[in-house]
Amino acid sequence: GENVEQHPSTLSVQEGDSAVIKCTYSDSASNYFPWYKQELGKRPQLIIDIRSNVGEKKDQRIAVTLNKTAKHFSLHITETQPEDSAVYFCAAAPALQGAQKLVFGQGTRLTINP
């Protein structure tokens, strides 16, 4: 089955700097890669996702890149702000089962220092 590894487990950056979180996956059949943000005491919420037919996707300060050959994908947050502090999860899902078989990474606790 799919296995997703996420690094780092904790990340601390200065406000205004960029943050990068990396994930690797094991199943070459996976083709859907969402990222979720979970604020303290709240539910995980989708912030961006990418499918395997594209290599990069941007949404304002957030971008995700995908390297299918190397089986890794990354989340990039630019011009970080205090409200970006949260736990971020990557996930991967195989083509035929999609979200039904989503496997999550271990999470990255991102802290933005003012």
Partner 1 sequence: DTAVSQTPKYLVTQMGNDKSIKCEQNLGHDTMYWYKQDSKKFLKIMFSYNNKELIINETVPNRFSPKSPDKAHLNLHINSLELGDSAVYFCASSQYLNTIYFGEGSWLTVV
Task: Answer yes or no whether residue 107 interacts with partner 1 by CB under 8 A.
Answer: yes
Minimal distance, residue 16 CB to partner 1, in Å? 26
Are residues 65 and 58 in contact, defined by beta-carbon separation less than 8 angstroms? no
Instruction: Tell me which of 42, 55, 59, 113 binds partner 1, using CB under 8 A.
Output: 42
Residues 45-84, interacting with partner 1 (CB under 8 A) = 45-46, 49
Please report the beta strands in the chain, taking only residues with DSSP state E, as ranges in sequence order. 4-7, 10-14, 19-25, 30-38, 45-51, 56-59, 62-67, 72-77, 86-94, 103-104, 108-113
82 preceded by cis ω (within 30°)? no
User: Could you tell me which stretch among 14-22, 32-40, 54-62, 63-71 binds partner 1 (CB under 8 A)?
Assistant: 32-40
Question: In the numeric block, which tokens belong to residue 105?
Answer: 């990474």
Token pair 């409200």 is found at 83
Task: Answer yes or no whether residue 100 interacts with partner 1 by CB under 8 A.
Answer: yes
Count the site residues for partner 1 by CB under 8 A.
23
Minimal distance, residue 44 CB to partner 1, in Å? 5
58 or 78, CB closer to partner 1?
58
User: 86-94 and 4-7 as β-strands: parallel, antiparallel, unpaired?
Assistant: unpaired
11 or 103, CB closer to partner 1?
103
